Amino acid sequence: MTEFAAYQSEIYLQGLSGVVPPFTTDPAGLAASARELLGPGPYWYVAGAAGSGATDRANRAAFDDWRIVPRMLTDATTRHLGVTVLGTEMPAPVLLAPIGVQSILHPDGELATARAAAELGVPFVLSTAASHTIEEVAEAAGDGARWFQLYWPDDPDVCVSLLSRARAAGYGVLVVTLDAWTLAWRPHDLDRAYLPFLRGVGTAIPFSDPAFRAGLDRAPEDDLPVAISRWVRLFTGTDRSWDRLDFLREHWDGPIVLKGIQHVDDARKAVDAGVSGIVVSNHGGRQVDGAVASLDVLPDIADAVGDHVEVLFDSGVRTGADVVKALALGAKAVLIGRPFAYGLAHDGQVGVRHVLRGLLADFDLTLGLSGHRSPAELSRDALRRAGAGGSGAW
Amino acid sequence: MTEFAAYQSEIYLQGLSGVVPPFTTDPAGLAASARELLGPGPYWYVAGAAGSGATDRANRAAFDDWRIVPRMLTDATTRHLGVTVLGTEMPAPVLLAPIGVQSILHPDGELATARAAAELGVPFVLSTAASHTIEEVAEAAGDGARWFQLYWPDDPDVCVSLLSRARAAGYGVLVVTLDAWTLAWRPHDLDRAYLPFLRGVGTAIPFSDPAFRAGLDRAPEDDLPVAISRWVRLFTGTDRSWDRLDFLREHWDGPIVLKGIQHVDDARKAVDAGVSGIVVSNHGGRQVDGAVASLDVLPDIADAVGDHVEVLFDSGVRTGADVVKALALGAKAVLIGRPFAYGLAHDGQVGVRHVLRGLLADFDLTLGLSGHRSPAELSRDALRRAGAGGSGAW
Amino acid sequence: MTEFAAYQSEIYLQGLSGVVPPFTTDPAGLAASARELLGPGPYWYVAGAAGSGATDRANRAAFDDWRIVPRMLTDATTRHLGVTVLGTEMPAPVLLAPIGVQSILHPDGELATARAAAELGVPFVLSTAASHTIEEVAEAAGDGARWFQLYWPDDPDVCVSLLSRARAAGYGVLVVTLDAWTLAWRPHDLDRAYLPFLRGVGTAIPFSDPAFRAGLDRAPEDDLPVAISRWVRLFTGTDRSWDRLDFLREHWDGPIVLKGIQHVDDARKAVDAGVSGIVVSNHGGRQVDGAVASLDVLPDIADAVGDHVEVLFDSGVRTGADVVKALALGAKAVLIGRPFAYGLAHDGQVGVRHVLRGLLADFDLTLGLSGHRSPAELSRDALRRAGAGGSGAW
Amino acid sequence: MTEFAAYQSEIYLQGLSGVVPPFTTDPAGLAASARELLGPGPYWYVAGAAGSGATDRANRAAFDDWRIVPRMLTDATTRHLGVTVLGTEMPAPVLLAPIGVQSILHPDGELATARAAAELGVPFVLSTAASHTIEEVAEAAGDGARWFQLYWPDDPDVCVSLLSRARAAGYGVLVVTLDAWTLAWRPHDLDRAYLPFLRGVGTAIPFSDPAFRAGLDRAPEDDLPVAISRWVRLFTGTDRSWDRLDFLREHWDGPIVLKGIQHVDDARKAVDAGVSGIVVSNHGGRQVDGAVASLDVLPDIADAVGDHVEVLFDSGVRTGADVVKALALGAKAVLIGRPFAYGLAHDGQVGVRHVLRGLLADFDLTLGLSGHRSPAELSRDALRRAGAGGSGAW
């Protein structure tokens, strides 16, 4: 019995006393269950996607295009799931993706998430658009591993200030999101004119920032509209270029990861730019409607960069099998997003923990039952294309 | 913030005062919303397709077969969407397709559409089967760019008269529809025996035409059945041949565009015939049931004609991503149809404007977020085939 | 205006007086509409398929795999749809397939079908399992073209008697069904234990046959169970072999068509056996569950036999586009089944006529609008495979 | 009329007295029908799958990727369906798969199943996790052929004891399940915390075993929790390796079959290990979510092992057509699972018998109507890939 699979036993054993899990263990059922709990604004802010939702659907369908080929009698009783990515040890190749404004899901927001992650040793990535400050979340996380996600503000002083705060608060890796420099056309939110930031939700980090406040005549708490307006101007609408990455490297002495890579040439540019990692991601289908499924480009990108940078993956991961597939196609670890957000919505820290334990148990069991003892054993040989033709490789 | 994306901000900001958009911003939701407003006759006249609807579904599915591959850090903050097609400048590569009998959707019909288009600077194409005359619509459009669509009447005098009226009223380009010389089998309309023309709706242009009236013993207003009968005889049932295009060139001194091209050989014939443009289109799936998806033939046709004619595209465009894909596959601009018609049904000029602004914002944001600054930067490299195999090009 | 397309105008014009078609003109809507009229036994006997229904679904999906590529400006105003198949002139390349026990759908059964077919000049194929005798149906058909379908009885005398009766009653072509020598596993009928024949429905032809009656001690009307038992023994459960076709050729001096061919080698054997035609068919998905779609094998079979036999097609034809596709892929004519049966269920002769006129109008308009003036102009060039890859032929 | 197809006639004839089948004959309808009878715990324990259910869906979809090409006039009137597999004669190439805890479906559990199997001569495979002992089930089976499935206990004495009991009780073949050495993540059961074993259901075989009892201080009936705990420890959580198969060969003098093979290399290892057969299976989608469809790997595996071992198949078989396809792709016989379990749920022995007779009739009719007289005549030539491209082999 591994540490992760233990959650399965725990559930079954509790059943003997008539206790069932706090909410569903079915990754496909989490959204439906969260939808019943949340108002349409918050629910769709998380569940919704850009435009017609085509990218979101493509992300999921892409996993179905690959199939695991289980191997037998490999003595997979004992498994070691831990990996180290950019100096961060993690008990399994899974991180919590940076999701903003988590307080719309639960009053404890990122604090609950950080605590649940720390309980399990799973690293989380704090979003620039969090509902709590860098420091508050660090305190909640305690010894838990944490990375910091940057929406790159259009003011060098604010940027430097955020980076130094994150570093000081123990965030070990900087994740720079490239694919969301302006918000996409999101009908679910537009139809409800629902954008939490405009009401001052998800602004804790800049509003608490000395450099940001220095640019205001009055403190945000005294003139919210002006602070929001400045925040929106700084954080959205401005794309960057490759040569400006130097600035970040100058002000961040740890590993830098670029999030949102979807083209092999951009992956190669990332290598040339000297960053330490990339996240192959389409922002969970929330930015470019009609974009390529993230998993569909992962193999080519992983081939292209080889060992020159660490390749992480997100967009569409829901199940243990998804994790196995992404790793087999070249990812060192994956980020999960909506599933833990739905857990948060259900019951704060307890809810996040339930979802995480379920996903890790599912991954552990799927890895083992497919005949592998560690993530390192996974390669493209573990998979086959779906359909009667299969891979043709045999 | 570009001019188009501004609509996104406007909606979110209005949300602070509790104001939400007049109706959905979701292109996939427009039809359902319009269906609630309209009677089944008008609704299905617009939404319905030929036969079993197979072509209509194929049109939509074809967009899903191609996927945008977003590029990062391209400095796409500032974008220029404008293009000039056949001498017509337009703020974005989008025109309003010629839809007839718009008064079944809203009493203002084409006048409302023309006004909304003019507000935004978007060109519209007036249908021969409009509910208002060439001159009335021109007046409503004011300085707005306008093209004239011809259902080629089987009477040279009437044809010449229509062309000269359109030219006099400032319509800059002639769009000759080739694929609707007779009406297809449309079960939705047949089941209701709903054909507006037979009740004198959508006959404003011929009924106001001196040459047409000259062929009648009594004016249409005095003997509607006879006028309708003559109108039906002149405008339907008669196919033409390539050598008869000379007649149009003789009587129209501006650019001529052939609408309904779906085969590379016909595209080549169009080049040989000396026209200025083609619209790759299957009439939105309303004519040949079981026909090839318009997008599926676009790349080959664009390759075949090169720069010899302007290639426009319609049939199935609903979202900003669709526009990006059609341009990347070779179109210079696209025509949208049903979406603006649904907008018209919702609220006349205001409704058309809402739909147009939404589509342009979506296109602008999708273009920018995929790393492009102008339509000219789009090429097939911006796309990848859907599925695990992808393009194979990398 | 062609003779067939005239039905479209007729419907629209009747709409001016508030008259709509007797029932839907939508081929996809016919089944749903018939289901409301009929009891579950008769409805599912017609609509149901073998086993899980996989073949039935495959038949329909196969049509979607091919797409018509319409051609423009081909001067298709005037069209000639008539063809001559095995000496039978028909106004369009469409016949009515042999469907048994039509009296479960309407009391007039095959008489109504024969009358409707005769009205329009469309040939019909009388099933051995009809509810009326060979002679009664011939009388109802009058001058209308008729073929006779044989379920090959396991008694030479009865077989010869049926053939001579059919010949005497003016049936011009013999259609020998090969794929239904025993009834398949049909859950819809089994769940209701519904088999009309066991109640003496659909036995008119053998029960009226002198040779069949000669094998009974008492006339069927005096001892129904024994007659039914003999009928079942003679007509089901016994497969034949190729060398036994000689017997039929000996006793039928007209053209012989083999129905149920699905493999190129069987098509070649049919040529070698000297028959005049084949029907590429899987019995509308009613016999072998999981069988190949009939349309999927048509092109190879048509190529294999060339001009050596006439190639007919059935299984899944519902729309005018379907007819166009089957002809383009090599069929000389198609047989339609369930659609006319649903028409019969709606209103006897009038219902069959409505369905037929609709299908012929749809075919005529689809043919013309795709740029063709006659069935002979259709070839594989008129089609393209569905999907972004298309045919690759351009 | 063959022995199997007779069930069809029996049903139709009973219809004359108003009698219909005890429950549906539609394989696709069995699950829905069982769901109405059973509580959600038992129903989902059987119907549910691992994780998101992707493997279960893939299993079914894989059958649709292959299509039977029926042949005509092959004189298939008389058919012989019997095969001999590893010394076991069976009337058709079908066995009942090992399903555990059948008493959750019906009080008679495996006894009913064994009786129904014996009635028809169909071999069954008894699960280690049965609700009745090896000996009780053997007695119920009487002369009926039986195989024994082993969940390999982590105690050599218990293992040897089980094997010798099975041998003594007339189980002819040992089926070693490789793919379920630990239980997968199964949301349906987890959500209800439903695991029958923890309540002592499905433990009859170990609890009655002398070697197992010898390891307990008190008999299971006196201390259920401790017995269950030992049972869980012995039977789950421990994977084996190829070199440990020697142990089984040493203690089982009959044929050994490895169940759960999904990779050609594992199939080759099975040959090298000297076993007599393999079951290509993914445990009906119940173990590795996202795994390859069992049918998708069957052809390559059958090619790889040739005649060196007997190739059996399970996972997804529901219809007669499925059996035909699996045999044509290389299986010597198939195991069916859920369908007979649903039959058991409906009416014990009578229900299993109804399902089995239906499946065998369906298989018999499908085999015959596709032109074959015996399983041995089936080869890949009997099939064609689905879709317009087909196999390309003609």
What pLDDT sits at residue A388? 74
Q: Residue A3: its pLDDT value, please?
A: 84
Among the partner residues B66, B321, B358, nearest to A289 by beta-carbon distance: B321
Question: Which among B12, B322, B388 has CB closest to A195?
Answer: B12
Distance from the C382 Cα atom to the nearest Cα atom in chain B, whole angstroms? 10
CB contact under 8 A, C188 and D26: yes
Task: Write the residue in C25, C77, C387 that is nearest to B190 by C-beta.
Answer: C25
Answer whether B320 sits within 8 Å of A185, measured CB to CB: yes
SS3 of residue A161 by DSSP: helix
Per-residue pLDDT at C393? 65
Q: Are strands D277-280 and D256-261 parallel, antiparallel or unpaired?
A: parallel
Distance (Å, whole) CA A165 – CA A351: 29
* Helix %, strand %, coil % of chain C (to 5): 45, 10, 40
Judging contact as 3 or more Cβ pairs under 8 Å, the answer for D and B is no
User: Which one of A52, A191, A263 has the shortest CB-CB distance to B21?
Assistant: A191
Active-site positions of A read 283
Is D1 inside any structural domain? no
Residue B212's alpha-carbon distances to B161, B166, B233, B389, C1, in angstroms, are 8, 15, 12, 58, 21
Instruction: Residue B319: name the closest of B334, B330, B301 by CA.
Output: B334
Nearest to D320 among C51, C292, C385 (CB): C51
- The per-residue pLDDT for A206 is 97
Predicted local confidence at residue A392, as pLDDT: 54
- Nearest CA of chain C to the CA of D203: how many Å? 36
Q: Output the CA angle A65-A50-A103, nearest 5 degrees.
A: 105
Average pLDDT across chain C, whole number: 97
Contact D21 C190 (CB under 8 A): yes
Q: ∠B115-B116-B117 over CA atoms, to 5°?
A: 90
Contact A171/A126 with Cβ under 8 angstroms?
A: yes
Q: Is residue B181 part of a domain?
A: yes
* A316 assigned binding-site residue: yes
Chains that touch D (3 or more CB pairs under 8 A): A, C
Local confidence band at A390 (pLDDT 50, 70, 90 cut-offs): low
Contact between D182 and A63 using a beta-carbon 8 Å cutoff: no
pLDDT in the model for residue B393: 64
Q: Is residue A341 part of a domain?
A: yes
Token readout for C216 is 């009974």
HEC-encoded secondary structure of A31-92:
HHHHHHHCCHHHHHHHHCCCCCCHHHHHHHHHHHCEEECCCCCECCCCCCCCEEECCEEECC
Task: Return the SS3 of A292.
Answer: coil
Chain A residues whose beta carbon lies within 8 Å of the beta carbon of residue D189: 12
A vs C contact (3+ beta-carbon pairs below 8 A):
no
* Closest Cβ opposite residue A8 in set D188, D190, D290: D190
Q: Cβ D288–A386 below 8 Å, yes or no?
A: no
Per-residue pLDDT of C203-221, as tens digits, reads 999 999 999 999 999 999 9
- Is the CB of A390 less than 8 angstroms away from the CB of D296? yes
CB C34 within 8 A of CB C366: no
Range of the domain at D162: 6-385
**What average pLDDT score do residues B9-25 get?**
97
Q: What percent of chain A has pLDDT over 90?
A: 97
Instruction: Decide: C92 and C389 in contact? Cβ < 8 Å.
Output: no
Residue B309 phi/psi, 5-degree rounding, is -140, 160
**pLDDT tens digits for B335-376?**
999 999 999 999 999 999 999 999 999 999 999 999 999 999
* pLDDT, tens only, D53-74: 999 999 999 999 999 999 999 9
CB B52 to CB C319 under 8 A?
yes
CB contact under 8 A, D191 and A24: yes
Instruction: List, for residues B320-339, the tens digit of each pLDDT value.
Output: 999 999 999 999 999 999 99
Q: Are A394 and D183 an interchain contact pair (Cβ–Cβ within 8 Å)?
A: no
Q: Please check whether residue A116 lies inside any domain of the structure.
A: yes
- What is the total count of domains within chain D? 1
- Report if residue B391 sits inside a domain: no
Beta bridge mates, A259: A177, A279
What gap in Å lies between CA D49 and CA A288, rounded to an integer?
34
Residue C1 counted as domain residue: no
Contact across the interface for D288 and A74, Cβ inside 8 Å: no
| Chains B and C are touching, with contact defined as 3 or more CB–CB pairs separated by less than 8 Å | yes
Three-state SS at B224? helix
Rounded CA-CA distance C339/C6 in Å is 20
- Are residues A184 and B69, on separate chains, in Cβ contact within 8 Å? no
User: Which residue of chain B has the CA closest to C373?
Assistant: B239
Q: Which two tokens stand for residue A358?
A: 């379920």
Instruction: Return the bridge partners of D384, or none.
Output: D67
C157 is in an annotated binding site: no
More reliable by pLDDT, D42 or A28: D42
A318, D52: Cβ pair inside 8 Å? yes
Residue A318 known to bind ligand: yes
- B268, part of any domain: yes
**Residue C391 within a domain:** no
Q: Is D8 annotated as a binding residue?
A: no
CATH number at residue C375: 3.20.20.70
Looking at CA atoms only, how far is residue C140 from chain D in angstroms?
Answer: 32
Residue A387: band (very low, low, confident or very high) from pLDDT cuts 50, 70, 90: confident
Is D46 annotated as a binding-site member? no
SS3 (DSSP) at B313: strand
Q: What is the pLDDT of residue B392?
A: 54
Q: Is C142 labeled as ligand-binding? A: no
pLDDT in tens, A257-308: 999 999 999 999 999 999 999 999 999 999 999 999 999 999 999 999 999 9
Active-site amino acid positions of C = 283
Distance (Å) from the C-alpha of residue A304 to the closest C-alpha of chain D?
Answer: 26
What pLDDT score was predicted for residue D280?
A: 98
* Cα separation of the two ends of chain D: 33
Q: What is the DSSP letter of B21?
A: -
From C184, which residue of chain D is nearest by alpha-carbon distance?
A: D365
C177 is in an annotated binding site: yes
Chain D residues in contact with C177 (beta carbon < 8 A): none
Tell me which residues of chain D have a pLDDT lower than 50: none
For an interface test with C, give the residue of D14, D59, D72, D367 to mutate (most C CBs within 10 A). Answer: D72
**CA pair distance D331, A87, nearest whole angstrom:** 50
Is residue D283 within 8 A of residue D180, CB to CB? The reply is yes
- In C, which residues are within 8 Å of D366 by CB distance? 50-51, 184-185, 288-290
Report residue B1's pLDDT band, with 50, 70 and 90 as the boundaries: low
Residues in chain C: 394
How far is Cα D124 from Cα A321, in angstroms, rounded to an integer? 32
The chains found to touch B (3+ Cβ pairs under 8 angstroms) are A, C
ipTM value greater than 0.95: yes
A231 to chain B, closest Cα gap in Å? 14
pLDDT of residue C392: 55
Residue B53: pLDDT band (50, 70, 90) is very high
Residue C44 has pLDDT above 80, yes or no: yes
Distance from CA of D17 to the nearest CA of A (A): 46
pLDDT tens, residue by residue, B147-179 = 999 999 999 999 999 999 999 999 999 999 999
Q: What is the nearest CA distance from B66 to chain A, expressed in angstroms?
A: 8
Average pLDDT value for residue range B119-132: 98
| Residues of chain C with C-beta less than 8 angstroms from the C-beta of B66 | 388
A314 in a known ligand binding site: yes
Contact D335, D313 (CB under 8 A): yes
